[in-house]
């Protein structure tokens, strides 16, 4: 046995030996990874959390006292170190059941598969605490999982479990982000482990794929817009989010599914996390009749049960509306007229208006005559307007609708069995009126009259940093020029309405909260100089630029800017100029992400042997630009 008091005065080797014993024992305790860190305050994190709160990005589930979140404490002593643990969980389901017409299904996020992870991690940490106290009886140790004051991800990052990713998850080099996190505070002065130096690099797939734009920037999450948070809230849900929820009943895995770091990673060595397909992908209609006792029996062991059955039932109603399940109309009508919960009645009105038909219209009219709740009455009115508008549109056959849903369900099935294609994953974004799920990760602007009832997104609506744009006609087609108040920031090949989704993704990644605003005056000088370039009257641009990129990208773009009109260079030469001769592939990637082509002349880059290589505007456009400069 070792004493904390006497041990502290001894050589650090005493605690290092215990640390190695703990690491060796961890797998037998049910722990997949373990790391050690100092218990010093998280000084930098404090300002980040304060800014997060000031912007209204908190979920409300966090510890309200920021000081407690950044300053490790022990009730009866001074903390000397932190211990972080990670337990991996599965990302795939064996033979997942499929939705069928009249038997559509919802889905729980992977973190809610199997037994509640809080229970599993607490059991593992209890074993760890006992293991340590057998060797240091008077050691002070306090453990926490998810609900503790400290920020799990900050502790795990400091302890070397993984790095903090752009999707705000901790990514382990071995396990990816499919890990549950827990931590212990102790007065034993363990030597800290080395943090992971790996990072996301220039990848922004998670930000681009986020259904609601909740990832407002690298490592910045607006929890109020996060589908995972929205599915756990009680009460009414904005129409915008109901469409984006798709068939999710609890949580959202999109930002993890698309992450290249998770490719091919699936951990099924913990039987307690193995999913019961009928629980994690349940039939939707039966959920509307489930009682408290049955809910507890079926879902009580899952972490999805912590908020009770009400949010899951509301989300099931939303999913039926997104599936446009005509067989659900009688049950939704019953919910609309008889359910005592206003949020269920209002959501049922929305779902019925999505499904459409005479029975839905009749039910909404009858309910409106008797409804007393103001919020529900408002949703009933919007439902009436949507149904009235749909009558002026061509009817779509049920066969077409069912065919579409079945094709989406097949994609979902493929997702479970082929994670090597991360973009072909379940991402229930709204695409068109009869498309409850969108797989590409790009949100398409709705074109039907019901869009008028939607609330504007805080990211793409009327608030946020203005990004001005204008279009200019050129010999290579229409270009969309974009600028902030500081200068030109982006040029895209194509008209704004064609490239809107791409431009939104770019602004969301680098600016955060934004709004696009057409402004010819702001872009007047840039348009004038671009037109002069294509007329052969300008060889050098004189414009203020506002560049957004990583330090490496900015370094590469600076070298590109120094390539004179009519001259040529290669990727290898650029790599050598920046002092990174072996970073040719990274240079290639940085060039492909050049936000201001033509002005920053990446078209003047060729292969090592002088051959033409890829160009953001296409090789034909690149040839035209080079020909223009050769003729001038």
Active site residues: 146
Beta-bridge partner residues of 468: 483, 517
Beta strands of 187-309 (E only): which ranges? Answer: 215-217, 220-221, 248-250
CA angle 528/530/535 to nearest 5° reads 95
What SS3 state is found at 256?
helix
Query: From CA 95, how far away is CA 361, in angstroms rounded?
Result: 38
Taking Cα atoms as reference points, which of 513, 596, 612 lies closest to residue 560?
Answer: 596
Query: Cα separation of 328 and 283, whole Å?
Result: 12
CB-CB neighbours of 375 under 10 Å: 14
Could you give phi then psi for residue 37, rounded to 5 degrees? -145, 165
d(CA 212, CA 224): 10
DSSP labels, 529-547? HHHHHHTT--SS----B--
Phi, psi of 33 (to 5 degrees): -150, 150
Say if residues 296 and 327 touch (Cβ distance below 8 Å). Answer: no
Give the burial class of 374: count Cβ atoms within 10 A of its Cβ; 0-12 exposed, 13-18 middle, 19 or more buried: exposed
Q: For residue 33, what is the enclosing H or E element? A: strand 33-38
Q: Name 356's Cβ contacts closer than 8 Å, sequence gap at least 6.
A: 324, 387, 390
């Amino acid at each position: 046995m070792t004493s904390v008091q006497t041990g502290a005065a001894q050589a650090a080797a005493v605690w290092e030996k215990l640390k190695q014993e703990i690491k060796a024992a961890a797998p037998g305790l049910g722990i997949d990874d373990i790391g050690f860190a100092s218990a010093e305050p998280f000084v930098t994190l404090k300002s980040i959390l304060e800014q997060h709160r000031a912007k209204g990005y908190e979920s409300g589930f966090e510890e309200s006292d920021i000081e407690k979140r950044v300053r490790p404490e022990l009730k009866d002593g001074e903390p000397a170190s932190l211990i972080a643990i990670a337990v991996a969980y599965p990302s795939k389901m064996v033979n997942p059941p499929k939705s069928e017409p009249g038997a559509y299904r919802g889905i729980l996020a992977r973190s809610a598969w199997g037994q509640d992870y809080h229970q599993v991690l607490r059991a593992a940490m209890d074993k760890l605490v006992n293991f340590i106290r057998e060797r240091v009886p008077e050691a002070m140790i306090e453990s926490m999982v998810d609900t503790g004051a400290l920020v799990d991800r900050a502790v795990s990052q400091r302890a070397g479990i993984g790095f903090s990713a752009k999707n705000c998850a901790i990514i382990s080099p071995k396990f990816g982000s499919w890990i549950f996190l827990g931590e212990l505070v102790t007065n034993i002065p363990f030597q800290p482990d080395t943090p992971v130096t790996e990072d996301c690099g220039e990848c922004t797939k998670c930000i681009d794929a986020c259904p609601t734009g909740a990832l407002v920037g690298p490592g910045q999450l607006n929890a109020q817009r996060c589908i995972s948070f929205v599915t756990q809230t009680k009460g009414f849900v904005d129409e915008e989010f109901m469409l984006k929820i798709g068939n999710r009943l609890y949580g959202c895995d999109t930002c993890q599914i698309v992450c290249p770091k998770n490719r091919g990673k699936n951990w099924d060595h913990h039987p307690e996390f193995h999913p019961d397909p009928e629980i994690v992908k349940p039939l939707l209609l039966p959920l509307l009749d489930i009682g408290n006792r049955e809910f507890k029996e079926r879902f009580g062991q899952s972490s999805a049960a912590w908020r009770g059955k009400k949010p899951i039932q509301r989300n099931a109603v939303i999913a039926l509306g997104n599936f446009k399940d005509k067989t659900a109309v009688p049950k939704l009508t019953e919910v609309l007229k008889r359910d005592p919960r206003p949020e269920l009645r209002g959501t049922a009105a929305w779902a019925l208006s999505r499904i459409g038909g005479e029975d839905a219209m009749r039910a909404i009219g009858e309910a409106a005559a008797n409804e007393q709740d103001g919020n529900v009455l408002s949703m009933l009115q919007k439902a009436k307007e949507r149904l009235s508008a749909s009558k002026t549109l061509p009817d779509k056959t049920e066969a077409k609708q069912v065919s579409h849903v079945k094709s989406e369900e097949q994609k979902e099935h493929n997702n479970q069995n082929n994670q090597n294609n991360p973009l072909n994953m379940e991402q229930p974004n709204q695409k068109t009126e009869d498309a409850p799920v969108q797989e590409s990760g790009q949100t398409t602007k709705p074109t039907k009259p019901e869009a008028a009832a939607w609330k504007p997104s805080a990211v793409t609506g009327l608030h946020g940093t203005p990004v001005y744009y204008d279009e200019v006609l050129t010999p290579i087609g229409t270009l969309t020029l974009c600028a902030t108040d500081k200068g030109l920031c982006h040029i895209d090949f194509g008209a704004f309405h064609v490239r809107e989704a791409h431009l939104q993704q770019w602004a969301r990644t680098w600016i955060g909260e934004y709004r696009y605003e057409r402004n010819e005056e702001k872009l007047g000088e840039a348009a004038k100089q671009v037109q002069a370039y294509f007329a052969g009257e300008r060889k050098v641009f004189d414009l203020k630029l506002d560049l957004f990129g990583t330090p490496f990208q900015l370094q590469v773009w600076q070298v590109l800017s120094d390539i004179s009109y009519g001259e040529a260079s290669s990727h290898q030469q650029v790599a050598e100029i920046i002092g990174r001769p072996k970073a040719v592939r990274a240079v290639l990637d940085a060039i492909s992400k050049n936000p201001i082509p033509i002005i920053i002349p990446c078209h003047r880059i060729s292969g090592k042997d002088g051959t033409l290589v890829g160009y953001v505007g296409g090789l034909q456009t690149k040839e035209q630009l080079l020909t223009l400069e050769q003729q001038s």
